[in-house]
Structures are given as C-alpha cells and as structure tokens.
Amino acid sequence: MITSTAWRGKRYAVLGLARSGRATVDALMTSGARVVAWDSNETARNQILSRRERGTSEAGGEVVSTSDAARGEYPSVSLRLPPPPPGEDLTVADPLEIDLTGFAGVVVSPGVPLNKHPIAAKARDAGVPIIGDIELFAQARAELPPHKVVGITGTNGKSTTTALIHHIIETAGIPARLGGNIGLPILGQDPLPEGGVYVLELSSYQIDLTFGLDCDVAVLLNITPDHLDRYAGFEAYAASKARLFEMQSKGHAAVMGIADAPSAEIARQVAVSGRSEDLHKIAPGVCMDQSRWPALQGPHNAQNALAAIAACEALGIDKEAIDKGLETFPGLPHRMERVATKRGVLFVNDSKATNADSTTPALSAYPRVHWILGGLAKTDSLEACRPGFGHIVKAYTIGDAGELFASLLEGEMPVERSGTLEAAVKSAAANAQPGDTVLLSPACASFDQFKDYEARGQAFRDAVEALG
C-alpha cells in the first residue's frame, strides 16, 4: 500500500468506509496516524473494527491488468498490518459528534454530498480541511519512486479512456497502476518502481476533494450537464473540472476535448495562462479508421482514442506500442459491450450510459438499432439523443421514466412501453432482423429497478442468454 511519513502522528477522520475508505484507514494507520472512522452503515463500521483486530488489509499489493479490470475482477488480498505505534489507535465514532480541533483532515468518500452534509460546516468551523484519498496520494508522491501521473476527467468517456491509456502504457512495457474512480483504491496498491505511471480516473467529486495533485498529463474529455444536484449550477460543475489543470505545474501536458463550449473555454484559459507548454486539443468530427479496434467503435470512442493517443505521446510512448494497445484493448463492461450475436442480431450492453449525452454516441454507432431506454431520469429531455434518431428501428421504454420517454419519442419512431428490461429484450429480439442491433443504452440512472448500472447490465446479459 502507499504510505507517507507526512501522516505520522497526525489525526484524521475518515467518513465513508466502502472500498476506498477502508484503504484510506489502512494507509493512514500503517503510516502511524491516529484515525477516527465512521460510516452510517453499522455493518461497515463493524467490518473496519474486525479487520483491524485481525491485522489484515484489503487489496494492497496486486497489480490489476486492464483485462482484469474490464471483467470487473479486482482481487482481494490480505496483507499483515503492523500493530499501531504506542498511543496510536483506531476509533469508530461519528465525526459530527466529536471535537475536530487539531485534526489534519477529514477524509470523505466522494459520494458524501458536501453541499448538503453537515460535516462541511463542522470541519470549516474547526479549521480542518475536507479532503479525499486522491489528495492523500498527492501528499505521498514525494516519497514514492520517481513516476508520472495521468489524470482523466470529463462527463462521459472517463472510464474507457482511463483504461485505454493504462492498457497502452502496459503494452509499451511500462509499469502502471489504474485507480481513482476505477479499479482498486490507489492508496491500497503497492507503489510503482521508478519510471512507472499512475493512471487516475477523476470525477468532479474527487477533484473537489483534491488540492495538490500535479498531473504530468491532465485530460479533459467533455463537459455536459450532470450531477447538478451537487453544484450551484452548471458553471460550478464546469469549474470543478477546470481545477485539474489549475493544479498543474507549468510545462506539464494538457489534453483537452473542445467539442463543447465549456471545455473549449477551459482550453482557452489553459492556453492563455501559459501553464501548459504541451497542449493538445481534440476537435470533434475527426475521421479515423477504427476497423482495427473492435472495442472502440462509434464516434465517441474515436474521440476517446484521440485523447488516449495524445496522452501517451506526451508520455513519450512510441507509435508502434500505441497502435498495438488500441488494437488489443479489451474494452470495459457495460460500455458498448458486445454481449452476443444471436440469429444475426447483435446485443450490446451500454448500461453505463446514465444520461442522454452518453447514450447519443451508441445510437450513432450502429445502422439499425432497437433501443432499450429508461430508468430513473436525470432530465425530462432526450433532445441530446436526436442525432441518433435516424438509426432507430424501434424504442422500448422501461422503468420509472418509461411513460415520459415514450411520450417524448412517439411521432419520432415506433415505441413500445415494455416496462421491464426482460420484457424489452424479448420483444426487441423478436422484432429484430439479421444485421440489427439490440442496444441497452438507458439515458437514465438505474436506481428505480436495480442496485446500480452494473446490476442493470448484468440483468441485460442474463435476459439475452435466456433467449436461447
């Protein structure tokens, strides 16, 4: 795991004890910090205590390859933790109920809504910074073997681009770690040897909790309305993305999509500031031969590939390794995942498309589409999907947004109110002709009918398999 002498003897509160929270507790305590840990879930609190009593830690030490990550296979590895130094210990207590005076930081999960959660005011009143595990990684970098960091953000395409960059780096024979909003928690992984590259997917929430991450290469893919319940408005959300570049030292590389106005404006600001002497702008509509990249189809993946190519070139990786990486990239689950071909009909799982903007590229990637959409709507509009309407043979609406979306699409295309995912798959399969594509690209969150988008994607796989 990644540790730092900078944390020794200091006190931290850790709020949220899911995977990254547990790794944070382990890293801090192994470094000699005193930790107050809390989660509203009693089971999570009990697990952190029982793990500490056993002297074990999760997930440290094993490298997860991109192909493992693509399959969702993240091994859990037990490592022996040293006993806490004298006078240092772990306390399970709600940070809202204790005096935070003198704490070095409150480390919160990115899922904690700081615009609503009382911990924000509590920490502010105590003069204690609210940070995340990525900020702790940034603090630990000075003690790691010489390395580079690539940070990738954007509303859509982050995971694919992050995994693609990581895969190309490994293909070039360079040690790499995948972390941030994908794969294993970065603090739970072993440090890279000299010359390695940490590749981090960074959501706006994670950037909000980070203040010192100086990326050698920073990548912005796009900015479209999303997560607006956490921000004062769209401008505040865009400003969060821009901070990734504001943290960079002068001379480090920036790769920036300029297809949307907010991203183009951030690119202009970076250019004017003179911080980046190596600025790559990714323009929309660039024609590319994607025929040799089976996992990178569609215009959005052309843009993702361009961003990955620019980032890897900035790292000094040669063209041959980049080309090989693009050709052998396995893709990620639930992101235009080719599930099966049955009786000449292709079934594609794009469950990760949780908003209309992320659905649009998938609709445009196939000539004849039977579109399964719906769930818990983020907006009451599908206008962003209009460029793909000409490809749709029929739409099948499901979930909470089913009626709303059916009413929006009627008159534009044939529509069936299927209700459930299983019913939609059966109906679409019955209507599809050889050469057609049955596409789950919901343009919605999943929480009305499923635990998360991964559970929804698995349900789609199961329904396709059940077709026989």
The DSSP result for 389-414, as a single string, is GGGEEEEEEESTTHHHHHHHHBTTB-
Which one-letter DSSP state was computed for residue 103? -
Report the run of H or E that residue 79 belongs to, with start and end: strand 79-80
User: At 32, phi and psi to the nearest 5?
Assistant: 95, 20
Catalytic residue, chosen from 166, 167, 181, 370, is: 181
State the residue for tokens 């930081």.
105
Q: What is the CA radius of gyration of the chain?
A: 23
Sheet holding 11-15, edge to edge: 90-92, 34-38, 11-15, 105-108, 130-131
451 is catalytic: no
The whole-angstrom separation of Cα 452 and Cα 135 is: 27
Residue 227 among the catalytic residues: yes
The sign of the torsion formed by the CA atoms of 316, 322, 328, 331 equals: positive
Catalytic position from the list 122, 147, 148, 158: 158
User: Which contacts qualify for 175-180: CB closer than 8 Å, 24 or more apart?
Assistant: 175/63, 177/63, 178/64, 178/66, 178/69, 179/137, 180/134, 180/151, 180/206
The residue among 423, 362, 367, 430 whose CA lies nearest residue 396 is 423
319 is catalytic: no
Residue at 83: amino acid letter: P
CA 218 to mean position of chain CA atoms: 15
SS3 184: coil
Q: DSSP code of 386? A: G
Catalytic residue among 117, 227, 324, 342: 227
Token representation of residue 259:
């297809």
The span from the CA of 12 to the CA of 34, in Å, is 6
Alpha carbon distance 203, 153 (integer Å): 6
Count the helix, strand and coil residues of the chain and give each as a percent rounded to the nearest 5: 40, 20, 40
Residues designated as active site = 158, 181, 227
